[in-house]
């Protein structure tokens, strides 16, 4: 299998950069006329997979919405991952894990090893126990041709107290970006180690030239626009994956309406290549 960066570049070229979040939270289940139970979770999630996985490059299930149902919910997540990949979409599993030592290795085994039923193309991770705490995940990505998207500049109001903090080597966010830049050095067409940067952060003076991709939550219903992406990322916007959940999922449960919403989202961000 080719490395994640190469697969992602191909997916963007063939299917576009729009990333659809498969997030079955209670309000959306209710909006679809469904109950808050495992059967409804399964119906919701697999309907979304049927609609969007054949037409978008990346889907992003948020693990917590499945985990809250226990083992039966995780079994649904396994199907979401497998069926999305079978339909040709890359799966970026949003787990935001971050720990040390053997625990970090166990997370890497769970989500990045092809032998695991939860194995995905890429995952999200938190570096705030020190970037070195992610080494087992980094090595697993290299071994299994997977990707890692690391939290850098998030849209939540609490984020700046950590991410904007300044030490001898610059801001915390800047140090994380430096680590990603080193991991992606000399990669072509793009590295496999990306940054999570919110579409609603306003602006940043950080150097975003990391030769890697960006997961950009907060696009669409949460307020982020295409103009925001151009302003934040500049020429690096061509490697941005604007992610939206509610804006697409609210079109359900009709499969055609969901697919059309995903296609509209893709069309709206095609100009970022320019």
What would the pLDDT profile of 71-112 be if each residue is shown by its tens digit? 999 999 999 999 999 999 999 999 999 999 999 999 999 999
Split into its structural domains, the chain has a count of 1
Contact 29, 41 (CB under 8 A): yes
Residue 21 is assigned to a structural domain of this protein: yes
Pairing of strands 240-244, 19-22: parallel
Residue 272 — pLDDT band, cuts 50, 70, 90?
confident
Q: Are the CB atoms for 19 and 59 separated by under 8 Å?
A: yes
Q: Higher-confidence residue: 55 or 203? A: 55
In a domain, 274, yes or no: no
- 243 falls in which pLDDT band (50, 70, 90)? very high
Q: How far is CA 38 from CA 22, 95, 131, 233, in A?
A: 15, 20, 36, 39
* Pairwise CA distance, residues 218 & 226, whole Å: 11
Task: List the helix and strand counts (H, then E) for the chain.
Answer: 12, 10
Give the pTM. 0.97
- Specify if 15 maps to a domain: yes
The verdict on residue 133 lying in a domain is yes
Q: Name the percent of the chain lying above pLDDT 70.
A: 100
**pLDDT of 274 strictly over 70:** no
On whether the CB atoms of residues 271 and 243 are closer than 8 A, the answer is no
The pLDDT assigned to 273 comes to: 75
In a domain, 68, yes or no: yes
pLDDT of residue 220: 82
- For residue 73, what is the domain's CATH number? 3.20.20.70
How far is residue 148's CA from residue 125's CA, in Å, rounded to a whole number? 7
pLDDT number for residue 107: 98
Just list the catalytic residues: 96
pLDDT of residue 203: 84
Give yes or no for residue 223 having a pLDDT over 90. Answer: no
Give CA separation, 190 vs 3, 147, 214, 226, 245, in Å. Answer: 10, 11, 11, 22, 25
- Own/partner long-range contacts of 171-180 (Cβ < 8 Å, ≥24 apart): 171/206, 172/128, 173/204, 173/206, 174/206, 174/207, 175/131, 176/127, 176/131, 176/150, 176/151, 176/152, 177/152, 177/206, 177/207, 177/208, 177/210, 179/127, 179/131, 179/150, 180/150, 180/152, 180/210, 180/212
**Cα 112 from chain centroid (whole Å):** 14
Range of the domain at 138: 4-269
Structural domain includes residue 261 = yes
Cis peptide leading into residue 189 (ω within 30°): yes
- In this predicted structure, what is the pLDDT of residue 144? 98
Residue-wise pLDDT tens digits, 142-180: 999 999 999 999 989 999 999 999 999 899 999 999 999
Distances (CA, A) of 94 to 64, 255, 260: 8, 23, 24
């Amino acid at each position: 299998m080719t490395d994640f960066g190469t697969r992602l570049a191909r997916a963007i070229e063939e299917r576009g950069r729009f990333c659809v979040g498969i997030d079955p939270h209670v309000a959306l289940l209710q909006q679809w006329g469904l109950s808050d139970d495992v059967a409804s979770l399964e119906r919701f999630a697999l309907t979304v997979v049927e609609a969007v996985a054949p037409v978008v490059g990346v889907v992003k299930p948020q693990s917590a919405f499945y985990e809250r149902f226990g083992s039966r919910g995780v079994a649904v997540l396994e199907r979401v991952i497998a069926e999305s990949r079978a339909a040709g979409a890359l799966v970026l599993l949003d787990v935001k894990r971050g720990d040390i030592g053997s625990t970090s290795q166990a997370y890497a085994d769970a989500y990045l090893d092809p032998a695991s039923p939860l194995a995905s193309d890429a995952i999200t991770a938190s570096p705030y126990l020190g970037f070195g705490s992610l080494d087992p995940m980094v090595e697993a990505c290299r071994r299994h041709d997977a990707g890692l998207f690391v939290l850098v500049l998030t849209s939540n109001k609490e984020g700046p107290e950590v991410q904007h903090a300044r030490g001898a080597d610059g801001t915390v966010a800047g140090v994380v970006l430096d680590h990603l830049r080193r991991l992606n050095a000399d990669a072509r067409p793009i590295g496999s180690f990306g940054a999570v940067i919110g579409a609603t952060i306003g602006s940043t003076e950080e150097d975003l030239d990391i030769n890697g991709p960006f997961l950009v939550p907060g696009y669409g219903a949460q307020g982020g626009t295409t103009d925001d992406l151009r302003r934040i990322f500049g020429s690096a916007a061509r490697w941005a994956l604007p992610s939206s959940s509610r804006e697409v999922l609210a079109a359900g449960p009709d499969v055609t309406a969901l697919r059309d919403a995903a296609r509209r989202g893709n069309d709206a961000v095609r100009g970022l290549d320019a």
